[in-house]
Chain A
Amino acid sequence: QKEVEQNSGPLSVPEGAIASLNCTYSDRGSQSFFWYRQYSGKSPELIMSIYSNGDKEDGRFTAQLNKASQYVSLLIRDSQPSDSATYLCAVNSGYSTLTFGKGTMLLVSP
């Protein structure tokens, strides 16, 4: 059974710090990896996609992928209170469906 694991948190960081969110997955054949942000009472919003080993940067967000370790992470630089949300990791393993983790709650304090 394909699994995606995330620490439920909450992860608390002060404003301006780097938030590091981690995700591990069980299916070694996984090919595509996604991070979604979900504010309380809202639906998930796609914020990052990564398909090959290494880092991918988009503004204050950096996704990191290490397929050998079956590990994907999301770094948020200069964290803002508006970044406070639940971050969902999702993995695709060659079919059109995604397997989602349960999410990590991030709290950024002013």
Chain B
Amino acid sequence: GAGVSQSPSNKVTEKGKDVELRCDPISGHTALYWYRQSLGQGLEFLIYFQGNSAPDKSGLPSDRFSAERTGGSVSTLTIQRTQQEDSAVYLCASSLAGVEGGGLSYEQYFGPGTRLTVT
């Protein structure tokens, strides 16, 4: 079946502009995650959505970052007033978490990512 999709694949923006990144999870997956990966670095957790529950925003680095998930499916990550340090690959993942329970439900599947470059 179709995997996680993200758009755009690449985004170049000027410092101070706002950007929106989109994620479409695997059909039937109730959990959706956003991560950031800077060059040569590990995965940095940003935000997690589970069904209709309030999102876990504990990883968002500043109030310039926000995300929403409409209809329990597609998610948009918005970065306002972008800074050069925001340049990174933004990865989205989804999982079955909460649907079946147990280990299988925690398996996260990643999209191809959006490479954001702030000039």
Contacts and interface: CB of A to CB of B under 8 A. Distances in A.
Interface centre among A31, A96, A102 (most CB of B within 10 A): A96
Interface residues of B, number: 26
A97 B98 CA distance: 11
Interface centre among A44, A97, A103 (most CB of B within 10 A): A97
20 contacts: A32-B102, A34-B106, A43-B112, A43-B113, A44-B43, A44-B91, A49-B103, A51-B102, A88-B42, A92-B103, A92-B106, A96-B31, A96-B50, A96-B98, A96-B105, A96-B106, A97-B56, A100-B42, A101-B42, A102-B42
Interface string B23-48: 00000000101000000011101001
A98 interface: yes
A45 interface: yes
Contacts of B77: none
Q: Is the interface of B mostly helix, strand, loop or mixed?
A: mixed
Interface size class of A (residues with CB under 8 A): 20 to 34
B91 A97 contact: no
A49 B109 contact: no
Contacts of A88: 42-43
